[in-house]
Amino acid sequence: MSFRRKLFFGRDPYSREGGELFLAAMRETLEKNAAGSDKYAEILKREGFSPEMLKTEADLANIPPIPTLYFKRNRLFCVPESKLMIRAASSGTSGSTSEVGFDLSTLLIGFGTLRRFFRFHRITSIIPTNYIVLGYEPAKHNRAGAVKTAHLTTKFAPALRREYALKDNGAGYDINIEGIRKALLGYAKSPFPVRFVGFPAYMYFLLKTLEKEGISLALPARSAVLLGGGWKEFSGQSVDRAELLELIEARLGIKKERCFEFFSAVEHPLAYLKCACGHFHIPAYSRVIIRDAETLEPLPEGEAGLLNFITPLVSSMPLCSVITDDIAMMSAEPCPCGNTAPYFDLLARSGVSGIKTCAAEAGERLVDS
Amino acid sequence: MNLVNGKILNDNEARDALERLGELVLEARFSAPPSAETVIAACEKLGAMGTEFIPLLMKDGMSRERAEAEIELARSMLSREKLEARLKLELGALEAEFTPIDSPVPVRHSLAPLGTLLHIAAGNAEGLPAFSVIEGLLTGNVNILKPPSNDGGLSVILLSRLIEVEPALKNRIFVFDIPSSDTARMKKLAAVSDALIVWGGDDAVRGARSLASPDTAIIEWGHKLSFCYASLEASDAELLGVCRNICETEQLYCSSCQGIFLDTEDEAELFAFAERFADILERAAAEAPSAYGERVRAQKTLEMRTLELEGLEKGMRIIKRKGCAVIAENKTALEPSLMFRTPWVRPLPRKRILKTLIPYKSRLQTASLICPQRDREALSELLISSGVVRLCAAERMSEAYCGMPHDGCMPLSRYVRIVSGELS
């Protein structure tokens, strides 16, 4: 059994016992990545790094970190493209998308890990469930990773029905507010639990609509809300988490213990779950380094910087050390939720929206033409 | 927010007003336009109220210092002195009375407004949409404004204050807050207009062209690029001027220096120059801390890191310094920088200036030229024949002066017709 399999197949996703195993799995995947891609091997060489230099946890910071932006502009696979079982594109809040591809071994380990992670958090269920998907209906013309994740999330309890907020019309999507409303009122009369899956912003708008129409439901016990994927284009409206949870309880009768908020990225396909205290605890098979927003030097706990994920999961692409667009902070304080694994908090996304410029666009067009 | 006949209307009321817009415009044009003097007096009063708009600007996250500076700039642009000077400089020479050399009948050339202007404004500078309307008023036109989506009602507030101080302007200012995507309603605005004044990038211009019928003029104030052309002899003091412009404007304006074209073909010279320039930029950046915070810095860091990884194949060198970076690349193309103090340095030997820059001629705006005196005239001519419309010292690239042409034209002259009449 490879070190990677052993690491991901551990029983307790938050165990901190397998430090040596984590390093061994990292070396294994890094070697595989470098052997499969001359370009990646060249990057490692130029930055003076080789997998056998990975001896302690502190050495993890020396793996050349690659921003997700790099994958939005470059394709870099470590296996022949014919070996890629699925491809997904990031949803590209800022306009451009990453294309990632995963081979069979990555998928098997990834899905298995996700299943165990969900079971650990008691999110998997055998009770048939009605779904409201607050996102896109899967369609041939949409390869966004978020669609796949949302669809996958409806597999963790057997689906009776799924209603989508954005319905496929063959070429694009229609907003399906009426359909959602009707489905929800129908589900409320059924004895089966209801699950909401998708983007928090859509959830918020749905709740606001219910509030405006004075609708309060008491959905069956075991109903749940599974949110992930950030606030998307509604980031200006991002609401307080406590307000969202209160609205959910008031309008749907779902208690906050049954509301799960996830964090994930197409370029780092692992799930992080927000705990009762609002922190993302780091599982045994990944590490987080916070880097200075200017120098990219690793920062101590308690300082905010760019979020760098380290994991040996992906063999088909060099995703061992990926920097996302997020600004985050690690903390050394023990978390009152009881989970002893280290955790990070998401603080913001890099960049600012609505920058006013009259210079940029002129050139972008020229480069295209 | 919408504004019709001096009244602020909600979207439903504005829809009704839009149906009657043709009549309203005709009604306004039936009476003689308020004189330039009337407009100037009103602008002066509006400028004097400047400070009351500071909180409005700060609402969008602008710092108090920036807001105060913007208001001071607006007050100066609206001052009697400047507006009168502009009218004289931009329009004065167009008016004349004379006997033509080939005709015995004496004639008078006088100015008349184009008629009705539709201003499709861009969101890159606060107050600019309202200022565009004021230029239309000064030239006697009826004005319809389509504010940018991020306007936040500022234009309506400014223009309704202007009407308050001078009620004679009320039927010559319309604001319809319509999204550009609503082509049906945008076409209604265009249909009653004689000319469309378009501010913004290619998409805005393309959009405006699709709205206008062939008999409607389109006046474009598009997005432009500016740069510095330097020879290897450029002194540190001269380069400091470039750095000051880069830091002050964050490379966000049409007139901001995006990078330096260096008169060389030698890669080693290019990289050595870039290192020297980076040292100077770092000093200038330290003197003028950026008003943009950690999120912008983080984004720039990610872009630089990505370039660094990509640069492998491209012969590119990224010289990172505290608060800034210089990207030296052996590539001859005019492109925007990544902005926020990240200029490029690229080789452009003088013999290739024309060939390289002519394809960008409609995009070129300001150039600063740093070279020995003996080369100045020849290089200036090359830059001008490539399409550059302003040459000045680097530290003044983004400083405007009264009566300055805008992208190669006198703005006010584009909003009038020259009418010829016989004097008997």
**Picking from A202-211, B95-104, B334-343, B375-384, which range would have the lowest pLDDT averaged per residue?**
A202-211
Determine the Cα angle at A352 with ends A348 and A354, to 5°.
140
Strand partners, B227: B367
Residue B421: φ, ψ to 5°: -130, 150
Mean pLDDT score, A229-238:
50
**Chain B residues within 8 A (CB-CB) of chain A?**
122-125, 150, 200-203, 222-226, 251-254, 256, 258, 292, 294-299, 301-303, 305-306, 309-310, 312, 322-323, 333-336, 339, 359-360, 363
Residue B17 has pLDDT above 80, yes or no: yes
Q: Residue A262's closest CA among A250, A271, A252?
A: A271
Chain A residues in contact with B150 by the CB 8 A cut-off are 354, 356
Kindly give, in sequence order, each residue whose CB lies less than 8 Å from that of residue B350, ignoring residues fewer than 6 positions away: B263, B375, B378, B379, B382
The CA–CA distances, whole Å, from A206 to A131, A189, A235, A247, A253 equal 14, 19, 16, 10, 14
A339 has a pLDDT exceeding 80: yes
Residue holding tokens 């004005």?
A: B143
What is the per-residue pLDDT for B201?
83
* A94 confidence band (pLDDT: 50, 70, 90): very low
Eight-state DSSP code of residue A105: H
d(CA A71, CA B338): 18
Q: Alpha-carbon distance B165 to B163, whole Å?
A: 5
d(Cα B21, Cα B337) in Å, to the nearest integer?
43
Segment B77-86 shows an average pLDDT of 95
pLDDT in the model for residue B284: 97
Contact check, Cβ <8 Å, A359/B253 = yes
State the Cα angle at B74 between B72 and B78, rounded to 5°.
Answer: 120
Strand ranges inside B184-256, DSSP E? 195-200, 217-222, 225-230
Q: Is A353 helix (H, G, I), strand (E, B) or coil?
A: coil
Could you give the CA distance from residue B39 to residue B166 in angstroms, rounded to a whole number? Answer: 8
Read off the pLDDT of each residue in B396-400 and give the average, rounded to a whole number: 93
* Percent of chain A residues past pLDDT 70, beyond the cut: 88
What is the average pLDDT across B398-419?
Answer: 94
Q: Please tell me which of the candidates A64, A66, A362 has its beta carbon nearest to residue B224.
A: A362
Question: Are the beta carbons of A296 and B301 separated by less than 8 Å?
Answer: yes
Binned at pLDDT 50, 70 and 90, residue A322 comes out as: very high
CB contact under 8 A, B226 and A359: yes
Residue A232: pLDDT over 70: no
Helix (H) or strand (E) holding B113: strand B107-113
Element (H, E) at A323: strand A321-331
Does A92 score more than 60 pLDDT? no
Q: Of the candidates A356, A363, A365, which has its C-beta nearest B252's C-beta?
A: A356
Q: Do B363 and A362 touch (CB under 8 A)?
A: yes
pLDDT for A145 equals 65
Q: How far apart are CA A191 and CA A259, in angstroms?
A: 20
> pLDDT confidence of B315, banded at 50, 70, 90?
confident
Are A325 and B299 in contact (CB < 8 Å)? Answer: yes
Q: Mean pLDDT throughout A252-260?
A: 92
pLDDT band, very low/low/confident/very high, at A203 (cuts 50, 70, 90)? confident
Most confident of A295-299, A351-355, A359-363: A295-299
Q: Whose structure tokens read 């004639």?
A: B107
pLDDT of residue A357: 66
State how far the Cα of A97 lies from the Cα of A217, in Å rounded to an integer.
38
**Confidence check: pLDDT of B173 > 50:** yes
**Shortest Cα distance, chain A CAs vs residue B409, angstroms:** 18
Q: Quote the pLDDT of residue B290.
A: 87
Mean of per-residue pLDDT scores for chain A: 86
Q: How far apart are the first and last CA of chain B?
A: 50
Rounded Cα–Cα distance for residues B350 and A352 (Å): 38
Determine the pLDDT at residue A368: 30
The distance of Cα A8 from the centroid of its chain, to the nearest Å, equals 17
pLDDT at B293: 80
Alpha-carbon gap, residue B27 to B30, rounded angstroms:
5
**Residue ranges of A 43-72 with Cβ closer than 8 A to chain B:** 43, 46, 64-67, 69-70
CB contact under 8 A, B123 and A356: yes
pLDDT tens across A45-76, in order?
999 999 999 999 999 999 999 999 999 888 89
User: What's the CATH number for A121-263?
Assistant: 3.40.50
> Which band of pLDDT confidence, cut at 50, 70 and 90, is reported for residue A354?
low
Could you tell me if B243 and B285 are in contact, meaning their C-beta atoms sit under 8 angstroms apart? yes
Residue B124 pLDDT > 80: no
pLDDT at residue number A136: 81
Structure confidence at residue A96 (pLDDT): 62
For residues B88 and B410, the answer to whether their CB atoms sit within 8 Å is no
Q: Does A360 have pLDDT greater than 60?
A: no
B227 Cβ contact partners less than 8 Å away, ≥ 6 residues apart: B257, B258, B259, B260, B261, B334, B367
Task: Report yes or no: A40 and A267 within 8 Å, Cβ to Cβ.
Answer: no
Contacts of B294 in chain A (CB under 8 A): 293, 304, 327
Q: How far apart are CA B185 and CA A134, in angstroms?
A: 32
User: Does the structure show a pLDDT above 80 at A358?
Assistant: no
Q: Determine the pLDDT at residue A233.
A: 42
pLDDT band at A352 (very low <50, low <70, confident <90, very high): low
The predicted pLDDT at position B51 comes to 86
State which amino acid sits at residue A224: A
Whether the predicted pLDDT of A364 surpasses 50 = no
pLDDT at A298 > cutoff 80: yes
Cα gap A321→A60, rounded to integer Å: 9
The residue in chain B having the minimum alpha-carbon distance to the alpha carbon of residue A291 is B298
In this prediction, residue A236 carries a pLDDT of 45
Q: Do B302 and A325 touch (CB under 8 A)?
A: yes
CATH superfamily of A3-93+286-349: ANL, N-terminal domain (3.40.50.12780)
For residue B127, the one-letter residue type is G
Q: Which of B254, B299, B360 sits opposite A350 (nearest CB)?
A: B299
Q: What pTM was computed for the model? A: 0.84
B250 CA: distance to closest CA in chain A (Å): 10
Residues of A in contact with B312 (CB under 8 A): 39, 42-43, 46
Residue B108 in this model has a pLDDT that exceeds 90: yes
How far is residue A134's CA from residue B359's CA, in Å, rounded to a whole number?
Answer: 47
Over range A82-110, report the average pLDDT: 76
Closest residue by Cα to residue A312 from A149, A105, A70, A145: A105
Per DSSP, B105 falls in state S
Provide, as residue numbers in chain B, all residues whose Cβ is less than 8 Å from the Cβ of A364: 336
CB within 8 Å: A43 and B309: yes
DSSP tag of A302: T
Mutate to test the interface with A, among B306, B307, B358 (most CBs of A within 10 A): B306
What pLDDT, on a 0 to 100 scale, did the predictor assign at position A140?
Answer: 72
Task: Please tell me the least confidently modeled range out of A125-139, A334-348, B410-424.
Answer: A125-139
Q: Where are the beta strands (DSSP E) in B263-384?
A: 316-321, 324-329, 344-347, 364-370
Closest CA of chain B from A24, distance in Å: 26
What is the set of domains in chain B, with CATH numbers? 2-223+407-422 (3.40.605.10), 225-396 (3.40.309.10)
State the DSSP code for A238.
Answer: P
**CA distance linking residue A330 with residue A306, whole number of Å:** 11
Q: What is the mean pLDDT of chain B?
A: 93
Look at residue A39 and tell me whether its pLDDT is greater than 50: yes
Name the segment(s) of chain A with CATH classification 3.40.50.12780.
Answer: 3-93+286-349
CA angle A273–A243–A173, rounded 5-degree value: 70
What 3-state DSSP class applies to B226? Answer: strand
Check pLDDT > 90 for residue B383: yes
Share of chain A above pLDDT 90, in %: 51
A22-38 pLDDT, tens digit per residue, is: 999 999 999 999 999 99
B198 pLDDT exceeds 80? yes
